[in-house]
Amino acid sequence: MAILVTGGAGYIGSHTVLTLLERGDDVVVIDNLSNASRTSLDRVAELTGREPTVYIADILDKEALRTIFSRHNITDVIHFAGLKSVSESVKEPLAYYENNVTGTLVLLHEMLAAGVNHFIFSSSATVYGNPESVPLNEQARTGGTTNPYGTSKYMVEQILADFSHAQPDFRITCLRYFNPVGAHPSGRIGEDPNGIPNNLVPYISQVAIGKLETVSVFGNDYPTPDGTGVRDYIHVMDLATGHLAALDSQDKGAAFKVFNLGTGIGYSVLNLIEAFEKAAQTQIPYQFVARRPGDIAECWSDPSLARTELGWQATHNLDDMMRDTWNWQKNNPNGYRM
């Protein structure tokens, strides 16, 4: 019995693989390393004393998936593999729909053929589009997404809902993440973006290490306590345990389930900068610039359903998130590249 983790060498994937191995699960990983490093899994093995079985292949490759399902007694699939940059998705929508939507369809076809019927999908709070109100619970309106990345996640959720009606033996859980940050407390694995980071926290950390000059804060005139945008940030280790909780609850309740994974707390951009300065013991230069089109004032989760049904809740606060991010960054100034 083994768990297949697609995209298991990536940021959230590697932390989840580590958590699975630590509790004794057998793990098989498939990753094409397009936005990940094999070194992450080497370090996971170093930290846990156990190695996942790794296939360097793409989920669009039917033969590779067929080989994995034939060689291993896979009982569950956790599906992280996909492209994830909002800005890149606007420039390359076809690549996002092919990887994120078609890739999921190929994976589901091979699961059906292999008789594997437990599936956890790495979704996103972007499926809510522009929120009508906050905090967001799972019954909030979805759709109206503002970029192809979010639309691809929304489309896959729709596909999975339809698929679960047609295949009542399948157990499907969609986990809608808010903003993953942080790193393993060892500082050995963490977020390693290609090029200039698209997300705020890795950008702040690269300013702190001296790789980038200043943080641009997009807008300081929002109707929020300090005028800057407010978001829900969640530690990657809390996300990892959220996947384990979902895995253990697959056979309970409905065949198709959706959960928010967040802290339920909104932090502003200036809150993050201040917390990072405290963790790194250094000043972070920043400048206010114009709002970006499509940005909203505030967005955070109501994670109470996951607490009630999965017995899961986030345990790390903002100081923990920034401390572990800085510990990763200062020990790995070039990420996994030496």
- Strand pairing class (171-177; 233-235): unpaired
H/E stretch holding 177 reads: strand 171-177
11, 55, 96, 149: the active-site residue: 149
Pick from 266, 281, 283, 249: which is nearest to 318 by CA? 266
Place of tokens 């093995």: 45
Tokens standing for residue 242: 């959220």
286 has catalytic annotation? no
Dihedral of alpha carbons 106, 73, 252, 122, sign = negative
According to DSSP, residue 69 is labeled H
DSSP string, 116-163: --EEEEEEEGGGG-S-SSSSB-TTS-----SSHHHHHHHHHHHHHHHH
What residues act catalytically?
149
